[in-house]
Each structure stands twice: as C-alpha cells, then as structure tokens.
C-alpha cells in the first residue's frame, strides 16, 4: 500500500549489481522511501520519470548511450531531487560542491546514503530542490572555473554570478557576500570554504576576514583601505598588501 508521505524513488545505473545493491540498501535502511522503478539507461530513466513523477532519483553519471547529465538535459524543468552516484572521484569535485548538489561515491556506504536521503527529506519538507541548472553550467565550463555559485540558506538557495560579487567577508564561522545592487547574502559556510571556488585571477584575499573582487576595486587609501564599487571598503592587512599593490600597479599600466 502506498503512503502519501513516501518518497517515491527511481534508481538509475547501467550495472545490475550496483542497482540491486543500492535498491536493497534503500529498502533496508531508509524507511518511507518507495522504489517505483530501477533503470539501466538514460532513455529508460526518462520514460520512468515521466510515468512515475518521482520525488527522488539516484543517478549514476557514467552510463553508455547517454550519461546522467544527458538525462537531466532532457527536462525543461527538474522538479525532483537528485543524488548522484559515481565511481569516478573526479566528478566528486568543485562543480558539485559549489552547486549544493549531493553525490555519493561507489562503493556506496550506508552512512553516506542515509545522510543523503535525510537531506532530501529536508528539501521536500521545505519544498526546495537543488539548483541542477547551476551544476550543469559549471560542469560544462571549458575553463574549469565556476560560472554559478549556489549559496544554501534556510529557505533553499540563492545563485550568484561571481562577477556580481564585490566582496566576501568572514562573519565568525559564516560568510557575508556583498553583491552588486547593494545586496547582502549570508552563508553558514566559512570564508575559506568559498576561497577555493572563486576564480583566482579575479578574487584576492586582502585580509584574514576579506576577499575582494579585483574587477570592483576603485582605489586605495593611505589609511590602508581598499575602495570598492557601491561605496564599499575593505581593510588591507600587511600580510596581503604586497600582492594587492602589485595588482594595482599592473592595472594602472
């Protein structure tokens, strides 16, 4: 008997042992999760998703005749949560993390699986979905640099274009983004977390608590302040001053 609060789920993997193992783990360790289909290809999964309208899809990335990303591109609107499952660690990298998208590595560990399902439960409770469009855009970036940064919050997420970020500022263990249009966006992640994702030729740490977008630098004062767009200012510490001054001199040439 189907229950209203069941999380209807589809498992997509071209390898039968992997499909069966994942389905068995979900059945045993994830209550109120109902597997409505298991699929071995993107084409088969596309039909199953249209038929069953699942709330969750466990999606293998590397499959013959169309990978997991190809499947997602078939949909104009993705109104289901996705947990990617992959044996290839190169996929478990920045594009996933900055897009706030869940993935688990093969061989699947029960602890990581249940954690991913719990996150999906929260998403469904809050009626929010991952920004898979941002993930696809970041994955397809030829330079390997991020095009969209997804900032999770209590209501879901906010997507930022790095070019619109004027400054990032540490606020305890959190980060505040100062964005074009005099907007502020807060994240529960610390500044160091975001530093590795921001384009290094565009963003520069100028203080233990501040990273600035060099394209928004308007000047520098003898009092040790960097003047930025929209009347924002950032302190410049002695540690980071040589690198900033070098940039500023080159910019003036």
- DSSP β-bridge partners for residue 207: 210
Question: How far is C-alpha 170 from the geometric centre of its chain's CA atoms?
Answer: 20
Residue spans of the domains in the chain: they are 7-139, 160-252
How many angstroms separate the CA atoms of 218 and 231, rounded? 9
Asked whether 225 and 236 are in contact (CB, 8 A), the reply is: yes
Rounded to whole angstroms, what are the CA distances from 237 to 12, 122, 153, 224, 231? 51, 41, 30, 7, 19
pTM of the predicted structure, to 2 decimals: 0.63
Three-point CA angle 212, 218, 219, nearest 5°? 95
Convert the pLDDT of each residue in 68-113 to its tens digit. 888 888 888 888 888 888 876 665 455 566 555 678 888 999 999 9
How many angstroms separate the CA atoms of 164 and 151, rounded? 14
Convert the pLDDT of each residue in 218-232 to its tens digit. 988 888 899 999 999
Q: Which span out of 3-17, 39-53, 136-150, 181-195 was modeled with the highest average pLDDT?
A: 39-53
Asked whether 159 and 134 are in contact (CB, 8 A), the reply is: yes
Q: Which CATH number fits domain 160-252: 2.40.50.1020, 3.40.50.300, 2.70.98.40, 3.20.130.10?
A: 2.40.50.1020
Asked whether 232 and 217 are in contact (CB, 8 A), the reply is: no
Q: Which one, of 24, 26, 23, lies nearest residue 39 by Cα?
A: 23
**Maximum distance among all Cα pairs of the chain, rounded to whole angstroms:** 73
How many angstroms separate the CA atoms of 178 and 209, rounded? 13
**Sign, CA torsion 141/143/144/150:** negative
CATH class of 7-139: alpha beta
Q: pLDDT: is 213 or 200 the higher one?
A: 213
Asked whether 131 and 100 are in contact (CB, 8 A), the reply is: yes
How many angstroms separate the CA atoms of 129 and 82, rounded? 9
- Residue 108 gets which letter from DSSP? P
**Percent of the chain at pLDDT above 70?**
81
Question: How far is C-alpha 106 from the geometric centre of its chain's CA atoms?
Answer: 20
**Percent of the chain at pLDDT above 90?**
44
pLDDT at position 253: 42
Q: Is 101 helix (H, G, I), strand (E, B) or coil?
A: coil
Q: pLDDT: is 80 or 1 the higher one?
A: 80
pLDDT at position 2: 47
Residue 149 pLDDT > 90: no
Asked whether 7 and 56 are in contact (CB, 8 A), the reply is: yes
């Amino acid at each position: 008997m189907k229950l209203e609060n069941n999380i209807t789920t589809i498992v997509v993997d071209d390898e039968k042992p992997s499909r069966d193992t994942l389905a068995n783990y979900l059945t045993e360790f994830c209550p109120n999760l109902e597997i409505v289909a298991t699929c071995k290809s993107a084409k088969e999964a596309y039909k199953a998703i249209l038929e069953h309208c699942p709330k969750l899809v466990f999606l293998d990335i590397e499959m013959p005749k169309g990978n997991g990303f190809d499947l997602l591109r078939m949909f104009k609107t993705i109104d289901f949560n996705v947990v990617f499952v992959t044996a290839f660690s190169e996929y478990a990298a920045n594009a996933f993390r900055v897009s706030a998208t869940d993935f688990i590595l093969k061989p699947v560990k029960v602890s990581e699986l249940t954690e991913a399902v719990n996150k999906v439960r929260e998403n469904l409770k809050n009626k929010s979905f991952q920004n898979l469009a941002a993930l696809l855009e970041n994955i397809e970036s030829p330079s390997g640099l991020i095009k969209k940064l997804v900032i999770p919050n209590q209501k879901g997420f906010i997507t930022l274009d790095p070019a619109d970020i004027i400054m990032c500022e540490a606020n305890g263990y959190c980060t505040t983004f100062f964005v074009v249009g005099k907007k502020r966006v807060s994240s529960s992640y610390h500044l160091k977390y975001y530093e590795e994702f921001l384009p290094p030729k565009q963003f520069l740490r100028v203080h233990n608590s501040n990273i600035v977008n060099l394209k928004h630098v308007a000047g520098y004062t003898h009092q040790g302040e960097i003047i930025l767009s929209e009347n924002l200012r950032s302190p410049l510490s002695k540690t980071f001053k040589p690198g900033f001054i070098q940039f500023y001199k080159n910019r003036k040439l």
